Amino acid sequence: MKNPLKFFQEVKQEAFKVTWPTGKETMQGTLMVVAMAIIASLFFLLLDQILKYFLELVLNIGI
């Protein structure tokens, strides 16, 4: 098993090798996620309303 002190030193070295995104890249990524979430929610809302309409049609045929 490795020495815990050496392990944390290696973790620190690896953390310095990471290329962190800029503020602009972070904002672009955030906006893309929000936009896709809105588009997906609208799609599923529309799909739900269409399926609800057809289900009501089918259930009202028997009445």
Work out the pLDDT band at 3, boundaries 50, 70, 90: confident
Range of the domain at 33: 20-61
Q: Is residue 49 part of a domain?
A: yes
Query: Does residue 10 form part of some domain?
Result: no
**35 within domain boundaries:** yes
Any domain includes 27: yes
Structure tokens at 52: 């609800």
Residue 13 has pLDDT above 70, yes or no: yes
Give the 3-state secondary structure of residue 58.
Answer: helix
Compute the distance between CA of residue 56 and CA of residue 50 in angstroms, rounded to an integer: 10
Residue 11: inside a domain: no
In a domain, 12, yes or no: no
Q: Per the domain annotation, does 6 fall within a domain?
A: no
Alpha carbon distance 50, 46 (integer Å): 6
**What pLDDT does 63 receive?**
67
Please check the confidence at residue 38 and state whether its pLDDT lies above 80. yes
The number of domains in the chain is 1
